[in-house]
Amino acid sequence: MAKIQRTKLSKERIRSAWIFLTPMFICLAVVAIYPLITTINYSFTDARLGDLYNYNYVGWFHYETLFFYDEWWWVSVKNTFIFSFFSVFFETIIGVTFALILNNNMPARGIVRAAILIPWAIPTIVNAKMFQWMFNQQFGVFNEILMDLSIISEPIAFLAYPDSSMAAAIIVDVWKTTPFITLLTLAALQMIPTDIYESTRIDGVSSWKVFWNITLPLIKPTLVIAIIFRTLDALRVFDLLYVLTTNSRETASMSVYARQWLVDFMEVGQGSAASTLLFAFLTIATILYLIITKTSFDRQGVY
Amino acid sequence: MKLSLKLIATFFVALMMSFNVFAAKITITMGGDDERAMREHYRFALDWAEENGHEIGYVYRPASATDTLNLYQQICSSGSSDIDIFMIDVIWPGIFADCAYDLNNIFDDAHKADFFEGIVGNNTVGGKYVAVPYFTDAGLLYYRTDLLDKYGKSPPSTWSELAETAQFIQDKERAAGNAKMQGFVWQGAAYEGLTCDGIEWVNSFGGGNIIEADGTVSINNPNAIAALKTAASWVGTISPEDVVTYKEEDARGVWQTGNAVFMRNWPYAWSRSQADDSPIKDKVGAMALPGGGSDGKMTGALGGWQLMVNKNSKNPEIAADLIKHMTSVEVMKTKAIDTSNLPTRPVLYDDPDVKAANPFFGMLFDTFNNAVARPSTVSHKYYGQVSNVFFNEVHSVLTGSKSAEDAAAAMEKDLKALSRKF
C-alpha cells in the first residue's frame, strides 16, 4: 500500500475520509471515552452516590477489597464466565446449524428467515418476564408440559435455586441471541461462490468434509466477529439475570454486582472498581479471541 | 463564562415561570403495590389540583421497593427537579435527608402532634423534618375463614400451629382434587421484602432485631437460628418451592385466586381480598403474625410510606401544600376505608366508619405499637448493605444452600464489619 504513489485524487479522498470520520470520533470521545475515564477515576476514590463531587483518593483500596476480601465478587465473576461460555457455545452451534438449513433452497425461506428474527427483536426485559412466567412453578407452561408427558411427578421450581436458575438464564439467552449468529452466518454463506460446491460434488467429496474444509474456513472471519460480539455481550449480562432470577447474590453477574455497589449501597468507589475490572475482562477476552483465531482483519479487507 | 451561562439559565427559568405563576405542575411518585392503589392516590391529588388550579404529573414507581429506592437515588444524585414529591419508605428518611426540603418550614409542632410520635421521630433526621407520615404498615397474617371453619381449625397463635393447620388443610384440599392448594404464601425473594418477613420470624422467636439500637449485632443467637430453621422447613412443604422468588404481588396472586390457606402480607391486601370481584370475598380474616413458641411474641414488621418534597423542586411550598391535603384527616379517612391504608393519625383508629370497613384495625393498633422496626436508624446510610447481607443469608437458608447456623455466623461477621462504619 505504502509503495503506491498517491495521486492528488486519493490524497483528497483520504482528507475527506478524515472529515467524515471526525464526528464519529467526537461522539466516541463523549459517549465512551469520557465515561470510561470517569469510572476509572472514581474507582480510586471513596465517592458516594448522592454526593459525587466531594471525595478522597484511596489508592488501590477497592481493588484490594475485590481481590482479597469479597468472596461475592469472585462468585459473580464465576457466574459471568459460566453464563458466557455456555450461552455462546450453544448459540454458535445452533445458530450455524440454522444458517446451514436456511441456506438451502427451501419453500417459504423468506418467511422462515423473518420469523427467526422475532426472538432477537423482543426486548430483553419483556423476554425475561415472559420466560419467568413460563418457568413458574404453579402456572408455568414448562411444568404443565412436563407434567402432561409424565416426565416429572411434581412441578419443578426452576427459578428458585442458583444452579437451575442459571441454567434457565442460559436457555433464555440462547433462545434470544441464536438469530444473531444465524443471520451473520447466513450472510457469509451466501457470499461463498456456488461453483466451489459444484466442483466438490463432481469430485464426490462427502458433505461433512465439504463443511469442515470449505464452508467453515470461508465463514470463519464472520463467525469470529459474531462470537466476539456475543461474548462481549454475554460478559456484560445484566438485565436478563436481574429480572429472571431471584436476584440473590449467588446468581449475580459482574454487572449486577457493580450496579449493586453503585446504586444499592451508594458506594460509587467500589462499584466503579468492579466496573473497571469488568472492562478489563472484556478487553482481555477480545485480545485472546483475536490471537487464538489469528484473524487479521486487514488481510481480509472486507471489514 | 460560567457566570453568563448562569445568567442565561436564570433568564430562561424566569421566562418559563412567568407563564405559569398560578398553575404549577407538581409531579408525584406514589402507589406501586398495584394499579388500583396508584389510582386511589392519584384521585386525591387531582381533587386538590382542580381546586387550586394546578396540574398533576404522575410517575409510576416500580413495584419493588428496592427498584424504587434506586430510581429515587438516581433522581436525587442528578439534582433533577422532574419529580416534586417522593413517596418514601419508612426506612429511607436517613438515606434521603440530603435530598429533602425541610418541611419544618411549612408544618409547625402543633400539626406534627396529630401524627404518631414515633413515625414523626423516624422522619426527623438531624432536626430536619424530612417527610410527613402518609400511611403506616405492619406485616399481617391473612387466613381463609371458610377453610378453617370447614376443617374445624382456629387461627394459629404460634408458627408451629400455623404449619400444622396449613399442612392439614393443604393435604385434605389436594386430596379433594384441589391440586394447586398451598398452605402458606409469603415473600421469599432476595429483596427488602424478605428482610421484613425475616425480621418478623426472628423477632417473634425472641431473637432480637438483627442489630440493636445501641449498635450491637445480635443476629447470631439460638432463637434467631431456630426462627430461620422454622421458615426453611416451610419451603416445599406448606409453601411452594418457588416461594423463594415471591414478592408481595406474587403471594397475593396465589392467595387471591383462592389457592392458599394463609398469607403474610401488608394491610393493602385486605381491601383487595374483599373487593367485589375477588373470588375469596368474605372468606378472609386478618390478624397479627404468630409468635415463635408458647412464650413467643406476636409481631409484625413496621412499614409505611411518607411524603417528601424534593429539595430541587421548583415549587416546594405548593408541593408541601399538596402533601398537607394528602395527609389531611378527610383524605386519610377515605383512604383507610377504600384501600385499607393504615392512618398515621391516631384519632382515626377510633373512627366508627374506619373500624367498620377494616375490622382488624382496632386489634392492629396494639400490634402496630409492638411492631418491629428494621435496623434502619442505627445503620443510617449503610442500611442498604445491612439489609442486603440479611436477606441474602436468609435466602440461602431458605433455598437450602446454607445451614441456619452458618448463615447466622456469616451475618454476624459481615454485619460486625459493617457496623464499624456506622
- For A135, the closest chain B residue by CA position comes to B242
Domains of chain B: which residue ranges?
2-137+302-370
Beta carbons within 8 Å of B420's beta carbon, 6+ residues apart? none
Domain A36-300 part of CATH 1.10.10.10: no
ipTM (interface pTM): 0.75
Neighbours of B122 (CB within 10 A): 22
Q: Which residue has the cell 476514590?
A: A45
SS3 for chain A, per residue? CCCCCCCHHHHHHHHHHHHHHHHHHHHHHHHHHHHHHHHHHHCCECCECCECCCCCECCCHHHHHHHHHCHHHHHHHHHHHHHHHHHHHHHHHHHHHHHHHHHCCCCCHHHHHHHCCHHHHCCHHHHHHHHHHHCCCCCCHHHHHHHHCCCCCCCCCCCCCHHHHHHHHHHHHHHHHHHHHHHHHHHHHHHCCHHHHHHHHHHCCCHHHHHHHHHHHHHHHHHHHHHHHHHHHHHCCCHHHHHHCCCCHHHCCHHHHHHHHHHHCCEHHHHHHHHHHHHHHHHHHHHHHHHHHCCCHHHHCCC
- For A138, the closest chain B residue by CA position comes to B180
Homologous superfamily, domain B2-137+302-370:
Periplasmic binding protein-like II (3.40.190.10)
Contact B253, B273 (CB under 8 A): no
What is the amino acid identity at position B350? D
In this prediction, residue B237 carries a pLDDT of 95
Q: What is the DSSP string of B115-180?
A: S-HHHHHHTEETTEE-EEEEEEEE-EEEEEHHHHHHTT----SBHHHHHHHHHHHHHHHHHTT-TT
**Strands B131-138 vs B302-309: parallel, antiparallel or unpaired:** antiparallel
Residues of B in contact with A248 (CB under 8 A): 190, 392, 395-396, 399
Contact B119, B134 (CB under 8 A): no
User: What DSSP character marks residue B265?
Assistant: E
Q: Which residues of B292-310 are buried (b: 16+ CB within 10 A; e: fewer)?
A: bbeebbbbbbbbbbbbbbb
Contact B297, B203 (CB under 8 A): yes
- For A247, the closest chain B residue by CA position comes to B190
Phi then psi for residue B245, to 5 deg, are -115, 5
Cα–Cα distances (Å) from B379 to A110, B123, B191, B210, in that order, read 61, 15, 17, 11
B180 touching A, CB under 8 A?
A: yes
- For B382, the closest chain A residue by CA position comes to A265
Q: Is the pLDDT of residue A104 over 70?
A: yes
Least confident stretch, A12-16, A134-138, A296-300: A296-300
Give residue-wise pLDDT tens across range A212-237: 888 889 998 889 889 988 999 999 99
CA–CA gap between residue B298 and residue B186 (Å, rounded): 17
Residues of A in contact with B382 (CB under 8 A): 265
Give residue-wise pLDDT tens across range B169-199: 999 999 999 888 999 999 999 988 999 999 9
Of chain A, the percentage scoring pLDDT greater than 70 comes to: 94
User: What DSSP character marks residue B27?
Assistant: E
B379 touching A, CB under 8 A?
A: no
The residue among A55, A148, A165, A246 with the most chain B CBs within 10 A of its CB, best to mutate, is: A246
Q: Which residue has the cell 498517491?
A: A6
Q: Which of B72-76, B94-98, B337-341, B387-391 has the highest mean pLDDT?
A: B387-391
CA–CA gap between residue A56 and residue A61 (Å, rounded): 12
Cα of A26 to nearest chain B Cα, Å: 23
Mean pLDDT along residues B305-310: 93
Residues of B in contact with A256 (CB under 8 A): none
Residues of B in contact with A51 (CB under 8 A): 77, 98
Cα of A166 to nearest chain B Cα, Å: 14
Question: From the list B73, B242, B254, which residue is nearest A50 (CB)?
Answer: B73
Domains of chain A: which residue ranges?
36-300
Give residue-wise pLDDT tens across range B121-175: 888 888 899 999 998 888 999 999 999 999 999 999 999 999 999 999 999 999 9
Question: From the list B69, B241, B395, which residue is nearest A248 (CB)?
Answer: B395
Are residues B244 and A157, on separate chains, in Cβ contact within 8 Å? yes
